[in-house]
Amino acid sequence: MERTHNWTTEQWVKADQAHHMHPFTDYADHAVNGSRIITEADGVFLTDSDGNKILDGMAGLWCTNVGYGRKELADVAHKQMMQLPFYNTFFNTSTMPPIELAGVLAEITPEGLNHAFYASSGSEANDTIVRMVRHYWNIKGKPNKKTFISREYAYHGTTMAAASLGGMSGMHRQADLPLPGFEHVMPPYWYVFGGDMSPEEFGLAAAKAVEDKIVELGADNVAAFIGEPIQGAGAVIIPPETYWPEIQRICEKYDILLIADEVICGFGRTGNWFGSDHFNIKPDLMPIAKGLTSGYLPLSAVMTTDDVKETLGRGGDFEHGFTYSGHPVACAVALANIEIIKRENLVEKVHSDTGPYLGERLAELEDHPLVGEVRHLGLIASIELAKNKETRELFDPSLSVGPTCKNHCSDNGLVMRATRDVMVMSPPLIISRDEIDMLVDRARKALDATAVDFGVM
């Protein structure tokens, strides 16, 4: 591709350091160590500016579900840009792609979710939900129902309301969050919080933490509970099977809206269209993003029930929206992306072929001296590194065992994230069995090198 600059890697890195502020980056470190520059990608492989080929075990940032290099998506974007690159959806105007897409989303999302409100990111979708839910309870004549209950280690985005919904203490500290009206309870994270309980017992205990919080606050003050079906950025926390049915029961008992954040779990990641399908969750509101366009363009949506839509309809203008709500090019790409997922049976493939195969291959790592637990569903997985496999004691975070392993992954041509000392992965849904072998073999090499570094091998 033609570029203005024909620079060396060193020159790109310098220019990046000079003017580009990155998200979630330590600027002092970046000024010294710079960034790896990714130049192109195809299938499940990235290429960097030095020509290294890297297996992308993270699907970009949990999003390139149909993989890289899909000409079909570029062609659709080109065609839509030539026909109508932009028009807004405010004030009773519309364009065709968001209309078509809303119909498709109503079909593929869980039963009862029939309406789509568009935004461009998961954070915006969650901010939209906060606005919708507060307005909803005002219209219902219950203006005290305002507080959101979420979980520690939850990730719902980085805008002020989305970060308040999130349960990341580091993010809260930097911006004096959470805002008033956001409460957090224990996540269904058996490995760390389960103690002597079986996972099933602990699932019920973690759900009871939600009920206890509702009782403490008073159900008349609680608006909604939000949870990712599987907590992604929190390090792929897969709840015990007892958890979600109990959460569903509690939300119904106390008349609390249930929000399933499907930004990561949606569009086939778990081997079902949505994580809610796997856990049989019946949400009132559902943010989606990432896999909606496989990351080819920014797009998100909030899916809602008839009840939410009809209630908002009694409140006059819903005074909320973004210039790019229902962007025609992004919506056209989303339609083509969903078409690819259907045509190539990617959800079914993850469910009964590549998902179980990844699980089998990862299970082989469980006897590794560094590995405490492997968590896995479909093509989302994590490897919890532990100091003591028997007692589930974790490493001292200051040792940076996870980040060390992540660097060894990079050296071995694999992108795998480290969250605390948990290695997380979510490869593109098109990954083949051979590529899964390559992923797991490279992960094992990185684990071995890390074990040597820390003297446990």
Question: Which residues bind to ligand PXG, rule: CB under 6 A?
Answer: 61, 121-123, 126, 155-157, 228, 232-233, 261, 263-264, 289
Query: CB-wise, 211 or 261, nearer to ligand PXG?
Result: 261
Question: Least distance (Å) from ligand PXG to the CB of residue 85?
Answer: 22
C-beta nearest to ligand PXG: residue: 122
Question: Least distance (Å) from ligand PXG to the CB of residue 309?
Answer: 22
Question: Least distance (Å) from ligand PXG to the CB of residue 263?
Answer: 3
DSSP helix/strand/coil, 75: helix
- Which ranges in 175-222 belong to alpha helices (H)? 190-193, 199-217
Question: Least distance (Å) from ligand PXG to the CB of residue 121?
Answer: 3
Query: CB-wise, 122 or 427, nearer to ligand PXG?
Result: 122
- Give the tokens for residue 253: 């008992």
Query: CB-wise, 289 or 451, nearer to ligand PXG?
Result: 289
- Which ranges in 218-258 belong to alpha helices (H)? 243-253
**Is the separation of the CB atoms in 50 and 9 below 8 Å?**
yes
Query: CB-wise, 157 or 378, nearer to ligand PXG?
Result: 157
- Give the tokens for residue 178: 């959470």
Hey, which residues does 419 pair with through a beta bridge? 422
Question: Least distance (Å) from ligand PXG to the CB of residue 22?
Answer: 12
**Is the separation of the CB atoms in 226 and 263 below 8 Å?**
no
- Please name the residues in contact with 321: beta carbons below 8 A apart, sequence gap of 6 or more: 89, 90
Query: CB-wise, 168 or 205, nearer to ligand PXG?
Result: 168
Query: CB-wise, 207 or 416, nearer to ligand PXG?
Result: 416
Q: In the sheet that 222-227 helps form, which strands lie side by side, from edge to edge?
A: 113-119, 300-305, 285-288, 257-260, 222-227, 147-151, 182-185
Question: Least distance (Å) from ligand PXG to the CB of residue 104?
Answer: 20
From the number of C-beta atoms within 10 Å of its C-beta (0-12, 13-18, 19+), residue 251 rates as buried
Q: Determine the Cα angle at 120 with ends 177 and 416, to 5°.
A: 75
**Is the separation of the CB atoms in 2 and 12 below 8 Å?**
no
Hey, which residues does 40 pair with through a beta bridge? 47
Query: CB-wise, 77 or 264, nearer to ligand PXG?
Result: 264
Question: Least distance (Å) from ligand PXG to the CB of residue 175?
Answer: 15
